[in-house]
Amino acid sequence: QVQLQESGPGLVKPSETLSLTCTVSGYSISSDYFWGWIRQPPGKGLEWIGGIYHSGSTYYNPSLKSRVTTSLDTSKNQFSLRLSSVTAADTAVYYCARAAAVTGQNNYWGQGTLVTVSS
C-alpha cells in the first residue's frame, strides 16, 4: 500500500523560503514514477507546482519555475519542495502525489499540509 505524508512548517514569513518534505512508504521512490506537488489555496481550486522523476529530472509550472526546486532523498525515501520568496498568495494546502509520468494522472496523494504565509 503506497502512502505519502507531507511535513514541514505550517507558518512561513513573507520573503522567506517554504520547505516541505513528502515521506513515501510502500514503494521506493528511486524505482520509478514522477513525484509531484500540487497546492490548493483555502476554498479555491488546484494548482500544479511541478515535481521530480525517480531519475532526478524535474518539471515545473512556468509561473513558479523561478522560485521552485524539488529534490529526492532516496536514503530516507523522501522528496522535497522548496519555494522561495513567498508571499500571502502562496498560502495553501500543499499536497504531494505520485503519477506514472509528468504527463500522467496522480493516483496517490498525501493528506495535505496547510502552509500559511504571514508575519
Partner 1 sequence: DIVMTQSPDSLAVSLGERATINCKSSQSVLYSSNNKNYLAWYQQKPGQPPKVLIYWASTRESGVPDRFSGSGSGTDFTLTISSLQAEDVAVYYCHQYYNIPLTFGQGTRVEIK
List contacts with partner 1 (CB under 8 A). Answer: 45-48, 59, 61-63, 95, 97, 99, 102-107, 109-112
- Taking residue 75's Cβ as centre, other Cβ atoms within 10 Å add up to 7
Nearer to partner 1, 13 or 65 (CB): 65
- Which grid coordinates belong to 114? 496547510
- Choice between 24 and 110, CB closer to partner 1: 110
Residue type, 87: T
The residue written with cell numbers 532526478 in the block is: 56
Least distance between partner 1 and beta carbon 45 (Å): 5
Comparison of 75 and 105: residue with beta carbon closer to partner 1: 105
Q: Write down the least CB distance from residue 80 to partner 1, Å.
A: 18
Q: Which residues contact 73 (CB under 8 A, 6 or more apart)?
A: 79, 80
